[in-house]
Structure 1
Amino acid sequence: MVAKSAKLTQLIQAVDGQKVHQIRCGDHRFIDVTIVQTQGRFFVRQYKFSKRSWYDAFINNPTIDGLPNGAMKIGDLEVQINGKVPEDLQSMTPSVNQAYRKLLGLVYPLMRLTFDRQKHEATTLELIPVFDH
């Protein structure tokens, strides 16, 4: 069995190594998103706002007793997750912004010109890996 720290290291490398990742809430299909990693934590933001979004699915189906409420997939690596609004969202926002800037490079400032920063930053979810489920 691979140690939890080795699994986390593998996940960090996978997320940092790609720009397009996938998530799902529950057993629904995977959808493409961009996940960023900062300080060993994983975050994703909503950039399109629809009534039945992946963001709403996670908000409306919170984790119970630490059981996963979704999964993230990077290539062949699939990890169960708990997707939730981070309790320290305001203090983490600058780090998450920097992680997006680092991952997306020149594309990120151009993207930010087209959306309401506060609205998008407010839809940041933390994806907490559940390795021992």
Structure 2
Amino acid sequence: MCKQKVLDYIQNNNLIGIKAGIERPDFSDIWMMVVQGRIFARSWGLAERSWYNSFLKNPMSQIKCGTILCQICATVVDDNPELTAAINQAYLAKYNQGYNSVYAQSITAEKHVAKTMETIGKPMVNTESSSGEQAPPSRSQLFHHDIK
């Protein structure tokens, strides 16, 4: 599995499955963006139990890109005006059609920009423990944008 397949899936699909933190049993579908070969997401719902706040409590989780399951770690994006402008433009280009256009315009507002996260991860390797239970990923199973 290569990083490019994950990036292509996110680039070409509107909804990406995300399971944020360890408390959520199911995947939620959210908008994700590829900018400069990196993966970003913004919180639409600003509720206490949002996927964004779940990541703040525990940054380890998963995204699902079709049949590809990726172990990820999320990090809050530092204030970077050039990167923010590129992410805003990517949201507008990808989602500014049909009923999505109102949301695409809104998600570039400051209250949503402040809730931007970058996902860092890789397609899952065998993460089953010897007892057959799902084991948490080790740091060596994570990457920072360098899947070969």
1:20-39 equivalences in 2 (<5 Å): 20-27=15-22, 28=24, 29-39=26-36
1:1-133 equivalences in 2 (<5 Å): 2=1, 7-27=2-22, 28=24, 29-62=26-59, 69-107=60-98, 109-112=101-104, 117-131=109-123, 133=141
Amino acid at match of 1:118: E
TM-score by length of 1: 0.80
Between Structure 1 and Structure 2, how many residues are aligned?
122
Structure with the bigger percentage of helix: 1
TM-score by length of 2: 0.72
Amino acid at match of 1:80: Q
> Percent same amino acid at aligned positions?
27
Please list every run of at least 4 consecutive aligned residues from structure 1 whose deviation after the TM superposition is greater than 4 angstroms.
112-116
The structure whose RCO (Cα within 8 Å, separation 6+) is larger is 1
Q: Distance in 1 between matches of 2:70 and 2:9?
A: 11
Consecutive unaligned residues in structure 2, runs of 5 or more: 124-139, 142-148
Greater Rg over alpha carbons, structure: 2
Task: Quickly say closer, same or farther: Cα 1:129–1:89, change in 2 above 3 A.
Answer: farther
Q: Distance in 1 between matches of 2:51 and 2:40?
A: 13
What SS does the corresponding residue of 1:106 show, helix, strand or coil? coil
Q: Distance in 1 between matches of 2:115 and 2:89?
A: 16
What SS does the corresponding residue of 1:130 show, helix, strand or coil? strand
Superposition deviation, residue 112 in structure 1? 4.9
Does the 8 A contact of 1:85 with 1:126 survive in 2? yes
